[in-house]
Amino acid sequence: MAALETIVLILAAITTIKISILLIKPKVWMNFDKWIIGGNWFTGVIFLLLAALIFYYLIQELTIVQILAVTFFASMLIGVSYAIVGKEMIKVYEKHMKTKGLWSNGMWFYTLLWLVLIAWGVIEILA
């Protein structure tokens, strides 16, 4: 089985487990979420390493333009969920931007990473 198919099967397994737990015992998943994404720098490093590993396999078979197009699609799907809880998310965003700003903590690296990926995609299109 190729790497991309493995990645999709892992995504399918995680998604199935998540939705099943949310349907049966949502509090269990919320506790897990709090543990995973509770503002821990170590978790951020793990996610970054996993993203780099997935990106490595993606770039073997896809162009950066294709990857960014799929990223845009996924962002739109995520945007639907944010629209549902928009008021709460805006409060969190405003608090973060007021107290910490875009370039604080690890956000500078995340922002820089996005700028590099977007620049790479635009350069590939214009080349």
Per-residue pLDDT of the chain (127 residues; tens, 9 = 90+): 798 999 999 999 999 999 999 999 999 888 888 888 776 778 888 899 999 999 999 999 999 999 999 999 999 999 998 888 888 888 877 877 777 666 666 678 888 999 999 999 999 999 9
First and final C-alpha spacing in the chain: 33
CA–CA dist 65, 122 (Å, integer): 8
CA–CA dist 28, 7 (Å, integer): 25
* Collapsed DSSP state (helix, strand, coil) of residue 10: helix
pTM confidence score: 0.82
